[in-house]
Amino acid sequence: MRSTNAEPSLASLRPGEVKPRGWLRDWCLTARNGYVSRLDEVDPAFPRAWSADFHPRGQYLHWGDRNLGAWCAEGGAYWFEGLVRLAWALDDAELKDMARRRLEPLLSRMHPKSIGLVYWLDRDDPAQMREVKVDGAGFIMGASGRTARALLAYYDATGDERALRAVVWSADDPRFFAMGNPLTVPAAAIEAWRRGGGGEQLAGAIDSFLANKPAPDVWPAMRYGQSVPYGDLRFGVRRDDDPNTDWPWQLQHGVLAHESLFSFAKVFLWTGEQSYLANIREWLALWDEKTRQPHGVTVADEQYGWAGPLRGTETCDVAGDILLNTTMASIAGEGQFGDRAERSFFNAGAACVSRDFMHHVYFQTPNRPDNSDVTSAGPHSHGGNGCSYETKHWPLCCTAALTRILPGFVQWMWMKPRGGGLAAVLYGPNTLETTVGGVAVRITTETDYPFGETLTMRVETAKPTRFPLKLRVPGWCANPAFAVNGEAQSLAAGGDGFATIEREWRTGDTSDIRFPMEPRVATMRDFNDGGKPYCSLSLGPLLFARGLAEIDENTPQPGQLTDWRLDSSRVLDGATVERDAMPAFWDWPLASPLRIRATAADGSPLELVPYGCAKLRISMFQDEAEQ
């Protein structure tokens, strides 16, 4: 029987061990009262998701048909994952009951001969296997792998063995592994095995796939398990009418890229082969250099490509970026991946959804002076309204995927180091309740971070217990300060990006942290537009923008200046940071309590607010210093 060859440096906690507080809880409650509990009202597809009454066959195993197609399988996958994690993060009885009811068909109807999680089909029937393979293999198997994440989260939260069994049955046949698009079924199999599920059949399926995996020119998802082929690098724009066969490797779908890199991170845990992690780092470095937007996520207006003020990022990729980076933080144990996840979450995560959590964009652009679509920059148009805040967009993937963003971040704020203790990977107000060395530990983090610089962690333990507390030191912070029970600690980040306090912890101990934030400027060129120079301003993990007064989230008040320009060489001269008290309830207000005051290139005063507070905005400014 096979055993894994690698363990993550930091182990993820179960849903519910970390609970949001303060402004983060406010946002979670808005999400709970919005899409997370109401998706059944948004589109008829959602009630059909993995239900006991809707069993698509043949051509309808594909996603394309709005009424009969199996798109709802992928939508359910994304939604159920967010639903489970948020239900336990909030300890919400109504949401927990909803999660149980929605997953029950998968828990009670799965059988050992199911085709993936398509429990109404039988793998021993050649005709039914042909149905899947011919008409919907990539889609329905990809959806099965994604849905397995929701089932595994449910198993972690509840201990219901039926959830783990269902995942094992869905992934113990190597024929399913190369059907999924992207590479989600092998990742699900590996995670089920790591939880003690399956046996020789599941392990054999994983080994068989890895020994006989298809070539990248046959299955593009495999490209992300290899080193970046820089010699072939050429970016362009995929047009709506381009057939899939004309896609060069650089123009692959952004969601496929994120999900496949995530899956190869899981393959590393199975094989222990360091090349998989090295290859993921290469891909991230490529995106950093060419495609990473100032809000933290790559360009992904269907495909990834050159960054720029009017290039779009699909909301699915915001969730995928946070999942990928927190997974890498867990496996590699490096704080830099926490930096990446925070940048994406606090900026792109806030901008993709409305303040009431009932409207969203399919694509977000760094500059959104009006409701013009991403087509203003030339790429995939998505029907001409992809940049509008709407109740839903077709296909419904982004509507469902945005439910994952908040609860995933909350769950992954804390992790457990392989050598023992606790690690603060992501920051914000929260309460952690877990055990360390068999001792119950509770840590309450009180903070306005990232809108403030200070955090106080209050410790409660069932009995005095010694363990290391690892604290991520953000890469943007030059002079962090730490104190325990009021006594300053001389600490510095190690090579992993964490500072460590090891001591005997008792109830009443406090750890005070300060991450001083200074405004900083970043420059870039838009190679979608001949290399035109731009710059952006940040404070801590937050991108800042010139927010435009709104009639509503899609309509600016008329007569506002949008052609703001900065001189990157002088914009920080005299720039100031202003902070007011946080509002009673946090909803990303345009009247932000945190502001940067700077000076435009023409000498005009310029007030900037956090990017997520500005639904209509300029965050990438033409740079006069580079003209």
Write the CATH number for 464: 2.60.40.1180
**Same domain? 182 vs 289:** yes
The two tokens of residue 557 are 């008040």
Read off the pTM. Answer: 0.97
Q: What are phi and psi of 301, to 5 degrees?
A: -90, 70
User: Position of tokens 């930096």?
Assistant: 339
**Same domain? 273 vs 372:** yes
* Domain closes at, from 514, 547, 562: 514
Residue 207 CA neighbour count, 13 Å, CB half: 11
Cis before 450 (ω within 30): yes
**Same domain? 161 vs 174:** yes
- End-to-end CA distance of the chain, in Å? 64
Angle at 216 between CA 212 and CA 219, to 5 degrees: 80
**Same domain? 406 vs 423:** no
d(CA 283, CA 293): 15
The two tokens of residue 422 are 């606790």
pLDDT value of position 23: 98
d(CA 313, CA 297): 7
**240 found inside a domain:** no
**471 found inside a domain:** yes
pLDDT value of position 221: 86
**422 found inside a domain:** yes
**Cα separations in angstroms, 26 against 325, 461, 586:** 24, 27, 6
**4 found inside a domain:** no
Number of domains in the chain: 3
**8 A C-beta contact, residue 539 and residue 518:** yes
**574 found inside a domain:** yes
Amino acid in the structure at residue 258: H
Q: Residues 6 or more apart from 306 whose CB is under 8 A from it? A: 235, 290, 291, 299, 526, 527, 528
* Domain closes at, from 514, 531, 559: 514
Work out the number of other CB atoms within 10 angstroms of the CB of residue 387: 24
**Same domain? 430 vs 507:** yes
**236 found inside a domain:** no
Burial class (CB in 10 A: 0-12, 13-18, 19+), 427: buried
- CATH number, domain containing residue 278: 1.50.10.10
**174 found inside a domain:** yes
**1 found inside a domain:** no
Question: Closest by alpha carbon to 542, among 290, 346, 325?
Answer: 346
d(CA 179, CA 568): 49
d(CA 465, CA 443): 13
**8 A C-beta contact, residue 267 and residue 190:** yes
**Same domain? 351 vs 481:** no
**Same domain? 183 vs 81:** yes
**Same domain? 391 vs 420:** no
Element spanning 323, H or E: helix 315-332
pLDDT value of position 1: 43
Q: What are phi and psi of 84, to 5 degrees?
A: -65, -50
**Same domain? 91 vs 150:** yes
pLDDT value of position 238: 66
Name the residue range of residue 184's domain: 10-231+245-411
Give the mean pLDDT per block of 10 residues along the chain (627 residues).
76 98 98 98 97 95 91 96 98 98 98 97 96 84 96 98 98 90 90 95 95 86 87 65 63 88 96 96 94 96 89 96 98 98 98 98 94 54 77 95 98 98 98 98 98 98 98 98 97 96 98 98 94 97 98 96 97 97 98 98 98 98 87
Q: What are phi and psi of 195, to 5 degrees?
A: -90, 5
**Same domain? 43 vs 155:** yes
- How many angstroms from the chain centroid is the CA of residue 391? 21
**Same domain? 174 vs 316:** yes
d(CA 578, CA 601): 21
In the β-sheet with 414-417, what is the strand arrangement from edge to edge?
10-12, 414-417, 422-424, 465-472, 498-505
What 3-state class would DSSP assign to 408?
Answer: helix
pLDDT value of position 217: 79
**8 A C-beta contact, residue 582 and residue 520:** no
**Same domain? 362 vs 394:** yes
* Domain closes at, from 514, 535, 557: 514
d(CA 74, CA 66): 13
